Amino acid sequence: MQPLRFILLPFICALMQACQPATSNKEKPEISFNRDIRPILTEHCTGCHGGVSKQAGVSFVYQKEAYGRGHSGRLTIKPGDPAGSELIARIETQDENLRMPYNAPPLAKEKIAKLRQWIREGAKWETHWAFKAPQKPPLPLAVAQQLNPIDQFVQQRLKSNAFSISPRADKYRQLRRLSLDLTGLPPSLDEIRQFIHDNSDDAYEKQVDRLLASEQFGERWAAMWLDLARYADSQGYTRDEYRASWPYRDWVIKAFNQNMPYNDFITKQLAGDLLDDKSVDDLIATSFHRQTPINSEGGTDDEEFRVIAVMDRVATSWRAINGITMECVQCHSHPYDPIEHDEYYKSYAFFNTSLDADYRSDAPHLMLPKETQLRQTAFELQMKMQTIRDTTINTTHQLSKQTGDWLKLAIVSASHDQKTALEDLIAKTEQQIKNLDPQKQKPRLNHAKYALKRYQQTLQSLLENQYKPEKLHIKNDELHHTDDFAQKTQISLDSEKVPPDQVIGAITAIKLTALPVNAQKAIHTPEFAVSIDDIEIYKHHANGTLEKLQIKDYFTLHGEALDEQLKRLAKNANIDAAGGLFSHRLFAPLSTVAVLHTPLRLKPDDNLKIVLKQYQLRNLNEGMPSELQRFKVEITADEIWHHYADSEERTNLIAEYQTLSQKLADISSIALPVMLEQDPYNQRGTALFSRGNFLAKQGPLLKPHTPALLPPMPVQSKANRLTLAKWFFRDDQPLTARVAVNHFWQQLFGRGLVDTIGDFGSAGELPSHPKLLDWLAVTFQQDYQWDIKKLLKLMVMSETYRQTSASHAEQANLDPQNRLLSRANTRRLSAEMVRDQALFVSGLLTQKLAGEPVMPPQPQGIWGRKGRIIRDWQEAQGENRYRRAIYTFIKRAYIYPSFLTFDMETREISHGKRIQTNTPLQALVTLNDPVYVEASEALGKLIAQDYVSSNQLDEALKNAFLRVTSQPPTSQALTQLKQTFANIQSESDQQTAFNQISALLLNLDAALTR
């Protein structure tokens, strides 16, 4: 049995770091693997002996391998026997060719001593602290129980280091800090005076409750989340086109204001589209993972950038929600944590079946009316349309399975004819030009004229070169042509003639299928797009004549084509174009069933001729042509297709779809990118990427799953994003609550209890207060039921939060980074707060909630590349000129310059922490940027009004100082302000002097910090 002191030690002295008093040599504490040994191995060893590289057969990531034998044949770690451990022999040897770490300075004696002591004590291995479910520790018994629990843990840690908590900041500074932290805005003059004169015991708590209930609360905390969500109003990459993302931003603000429980907040964003009773807000929430950039530049590979987007979703989900650097496992096993390479792609599989695919259109979308009162109507229309699509695809697949006698029709010859295709395109384009209105449809008209000219030039070239149709290859009774051929062409397929002694009768339906060249590979590495614009089917009579068959109905078996097919069938204008035979990428057989108007009989020497018009009318691939390479034809005499095509159910579904579609089109809406799943019959597979190369996959298909080091997922038939979202909030999930608490703590205290916000793994920082972190995590999860405002109130009510930021020399020397929390941290305001404060104190700020992004003043000539929808920065006027910073238009390629100067992230990827800088450019912004110039002029007018009403310069300047810094000026500061005012006024007019005083105040350190 261990001595009592060793039983108590893990909670009393966990993670004592550099600021701890040195331990006496007479009483060496037991070595902790997580606290003392893992950091040494991570820093010095796992780079060569970890998850990526296991040189000499040695790895320190997994216990079994660390205790095993390397290439030397000796045990790397022999518990209880340092002398028998190869690890000790290698770090202590004087032979530089054998000493570890290799080609690096020798380990410090203190670190070697720790390793020796640890092995001598039995080399007890520990699971990394963050991968064990938090247990709620008891509150410290030695500290007064009436204290806020946060203070109890902090004061216990301070006391063990001979520190004490600092006294409270004065009431002015408390209110400023609280107001900025909870709402992102400073307190008004009235709010300051009310608080200062409120001497009740609960005066501060009343301010906390007021600010938590404020609408500005949601705007402030949304700014934090939008960094994690990589929110922007543009698509990213070179073109960086406009994206209507702002309803998602408004959803985040609303969620914080309504105090949505954190588990619902995350679940809706990860999988709102998969909820049984989803609402319009649930679908808006899924735009969280549609904030990934898309590349609409011509000639780019959509599949490559789709894969990049999926990888971004994996990285963002794990880092933002669980603090795991899963992106480190894309190319190999994790260097520091026990996460295997294939486990990354099991996580990837959760997100790999989403419907988006780097489309130029940025689809799929939720059509969202700008008039909020119409949103529910539009949502219901879209849900009804989705129900019809689901019903149609399910019915089509059921009919296809019930058709037991699909007979493959042998294709015996194939060719393509570019000349005929161009002649057809020229005729159609000429007709299109006649029908277009030159005034209302000028862009389409110009495009059609340009296309017509190109068609005519190409046709002329073919005629001059005496073009003839070209043969295509046949293999196994199918088209199988993998060589390049013309982009815009007609492909003709001729089936085998009916033998003289046979008759094929009562053909009711013909199944046309585009096949991947390599079906086994295509499921995880899709082949290029297929896009057939028109389909014509002919009966080729024995006498040589062609009879075009009348198609009654088409049934695509691929969900991507359903919307277009149903709309074309409803119009009933061009049944040949309703085939639905197209796919952005071919990862599985792509089939459509043509139901004949009248059953067909084929007599001896008759055959079928199928003409596929591949005209590239759909821009599926950023200008890159679609290619049909493999194709087969099947027939059936089963009556079920004919019966269903004739049924009232089918007729009504098509008619209803058209009605719903028209009603939706009549509502003016924006297209918000959202997450939706592929239909269940056509979903991508996931395989491991060899060394992270999306073109080189290996091994079997992988099912969605979570890493083995974490609690297992429940066994069920289908794992998807909703499964994952629910798994994140299991009671025994070790990271979700810890990471959430750490995000909120960082926003209030300046740094997290774990300083590496997005890395809770072995390479991350150890928590400064591990027991406090676990107590908060369990309390947030179990006691508070994920109530965010309740958690924040607990934090801001603590003495730890309310203490002064003033420090004395001893504190600064022993704990320069304030890890022990013996004082408050002074921090510069965020980019958004700097701007919002200037507008607020000058009386300019428009406190209108939600809405489209705005373009406030910025220096000229910032946007280097023009967009299509929004070409230039259109400087806002009226109230939109002075809206809060969170509503400013975010174009990824050209971030609003003052935000960038004040360290806002560019939003290409998720960020949990902004790295603060201090540069002269920041002063130039607050002195010269148009926003701050206007703010100083408006504030100058307020000071002048105060001066006129009071006729006392001292009073006007005091109010101005209080308004900007939330604290009264010292007598010295007031004297300096008066002298400065006098100096300026001696050279200019009074209003200019007040304006200059305003600019001075807005640039004070006290104004730019909290």
Per the listing, tokens 């009933």 go with: 572
pLDDT attached to residue 487: 82
pLDDT on residue 20:
41
- Position 585: which residue type? R
pLDDT of residue 468: 94
Range with the poorest average pLDDT among 359-368, 495-504, 825-834, 923-932: 495-504
pLDDT at 1 over 80: no
**CB contact at 8 A, 865 and 206:** no
| CB distance 177 to 171 below 8 Å | no
Both tokens assigned to 503: 């008759």
Tell me: pLDDT of 7 over 80. Answer: no
Kindly tell me if the per-residue pLDDT of 9 is higher than 60. no
DSSP 614: E
How far from 277 is each of 282, 366, 383, 488, CA to CA, in Å?
Answer: 9, 16, 11, 45
Write out pLDDT tens, residues 238-258. 889 999 999 999 999 999 999
Is the model's pLDDT at 143 over the cut of 90?
no
List Cβ<8 Å contacts ≥24 apart for 536-540. Answer: 536/576, 536/610, 536/611, 536/613, 537/510, 537/594, 537/608, 537/609, 537/610, 537/611, 538/608, 538/609, 538/610, 538/611, 539/600, 539/602, 539/606, 539/608, 539/609, 540/494, 540/606, 540/607, 540/608, 540/609
Say if residues 673 and 364 touch (Cβ distance below 8 Å). Answer: yes
Residues 6+ apart with CB under 8 A from 905: 227, 911, 914
Per-residue pLDDT at 26: 44
- Between CA 869 and CA 466 the distance in angstroms is 44
User: Do 747 and 182 form a contact (C-beta atoms < 8 A)?
Assistant: no
Quote the crossing angle between the two packed helices 953-965 and 930-950, to the nearest 10°.
Answer: 140
* Whole-number pLDDT of residue 714: 85
| Mean pLDDT of the 983-1001 span | 94
pLDDT (tens digit per residue) in 299-316: 888 999 999 999 999 999
Report the side by side order of strands in the sheet with 534-540.
470-471, 411-417, 489-495, 607-614, 534-540, 546-548
Element (H, E) at 593: strand 590-602
So what's the pLDDT on residue 54? 84
> Phi and psi dihedrals of 670, rounded to 5?
-105, 160
pLDDT tens readout for residues 856-874: 998 888 877 666 677 788 8
Count, in order, helices (H) and strands (E) of the chain.
36, 19
Mean pLDDT of 826-850: 96
Average pLDDT over residues 330-340: 91
| Residue among 59, 189, 170, 32 at smallest CA distance from 114 | 32
Compute the distance between CA of residue 743 and CA of residue 322 in angstroms, rounded to an integer. Answer: 11
Say whether pLDDT at 501 is over 90: no
The radius of gyration computed from the CA coordinates of the chain, to the nearest angstrom, equals 35
Lowest mean pLDDT among 347-351, 450-454, 864-868: 864-868
**Lowest-confidence region among 41-55, 84-98, 857-871:** 857-871
pLDDT at 97: 87
Q: Residue 369: in which H helix or E strand, if any?
A: strand 365-369
Task: Please name every residue paired with 10 in a beta bridge, in sequence order, or none if there are none.
Answer: none
Query: Does position 2 have pLDDT exceeding 70, yes or no?
Result: no
Contacts of 673 by beta carbon, 8 Å cutoff, 6+ apart: 243, 244, 245, 287, 290, 356, 362, 363, 364, 365
Determine what percent of the chain is predicted with pLDDT higher than 90: 80
Sequence-distant (6+) residues with CB within 8 A of 626 are 528, 529, 530, 531, 582, 614, 616, 618, 620
Lowest-confidence region among 150-154, 166-170, 403-407, 537-541: 403-407
Q: How confident is the model at residue 618 (pLDDT cuts 50, 70, 90)?
A: confident
Helix ranges (H only) for 403-490 are 418-435, 442-464
d(CA 308, CA 321): 20
Contact 120, 28 (CB under 8 A): no
Residue range 139-165: mean pLDDT, rounded: 86
Rounded mean pLDDT of 612-625? 82
Q: What is the mean pLDDT of residues 461-484?
A: 94
**670-682 pLDDT tens trace:** 999 999 999 999 9
Q: Name the region of 907 (left: φ>0; alpha: ψ -120 to 50; beta: rest).
A: left
pLDDT digits (tens, 9 = 90+) for 564-595: 999 999 887 678 888 999 999 999 999 999 99
Q: Which of 574, 696, 589 shows the shortest CA–CA distance to 633?
A: 589
Q: CB–CB of 364/674 below 8 Å?
A: yes
3-state SS assignment for residue 734? coil
705 phi-psi bin (left φ>0, alpha ψ -120 to 50, beta other): beta
Supply the pLDDT for residue 3: 40
Collapse the DSSP code of 493 into the 3-class scheme (helix H, G, I; strand E, B; otherwise coil) and give the result.
Answer: strand
Residue 5, pLDDT score: 36
Give, for 774, the enclosing helix (H) or strand (E).
helix 770-778
Residue 867: the pLDDT is: 67
Phi, psi of 339 (to 5 degrees): -125, 120
Q: Are 918 and 968 in contact (CB under 8 A)?
A: no
Q: Is the preceding peptide bond at 734 cis, omega within 30 degrees of 0?
A: no
Q: Over the chain, what is the mean pLDDT?
A: 92
Identify the band that residue 145 occupies on the pLDDT scale cut at 50, 70 and 90: low
For every residue of 508-575, DSSP letters joined together read: EEEEEEE--SSHHHHTTS-B--EE--EEEEEEE-TTS-EEEPPEEEEEES-GGGHHHHHHHHHHTS-G
pLDDT digits (tens, 9 = 90+) for 378-387: 999 999 999 9
Q: Which residues of 815-836 are buried (b: 16+ CB within 10 A; e: fewer)?
A: beebbbbbbbebbbbbbbbbbb
Name the phi and psi angles at 886, rounded to 5: -65, -20
Contact of 151 with 772, CB cutoff 8 Å: no
Mean predicted confidence (pLDDT) in 372-381: 96
Collapsed DSSP state (helix, strand, coil) of residue 585: coil
